[in-house]
Amino acid sequence: MASESQKYAEAMYDRLVDALPGDWDLETKELIGQAFLAGMAEYPDVLQRLKSSSLIESDYFDDHEDQPGDEPGDRIIEGNRYRIRIKTSKRK
């Protein structure tokens, strides 16, 4: 897999493993995830179709620096699955 496709596959792996039932042991979840990754490596066309599915957003890795409403003093905290904007208030 190409590096961008690999990043998407690994992010989808994380979401898939997290979504599996909580009463399943971690080893079982990881085995299912590994089978998923193997399938994505074998069928890149399916990986491309999954990029815009409800499993992951097509812009998951896009740079979100210039979002509408961002002010110069705002702080942005980003993780793999979240983006938090802390707005700077204007003093009177």
Number of domains the chain contains: 1
Find tokens 């590096």 and name the residue.
3
For residue 7, what are the domain limits? 3-50
Instruction: Give the chain's largest Cα–Cα span.
Output: 60
pTM for the model stands at 0.61
Listed in sequence order, the residues at least 6 apart from 65 whose beta carbon sits closer than 8 Å to its beta carbon are 76
Do the domain assignments include residue 65?
Answer: no
Tens-digit pLDDT profile for residues 12-31: 998 899 899 999 999 999 99
What are the pLDDT digits (tens) for 43-82? 999 999 998 888 887 777 765 555 555 555 666 767 666 6
Q: 30 in a domain, yes or no?
A: yes
CA-to-CA distance for 24 and 10, rounded, in angstroms? 20
* Domain membership flag for residue 20: yes
Q: In 42-51, which positions are buried (b, 16+ CB within 10 angstroms) versus exposed (e)?
A: eeeeebeebb
86 domain-assigned: no
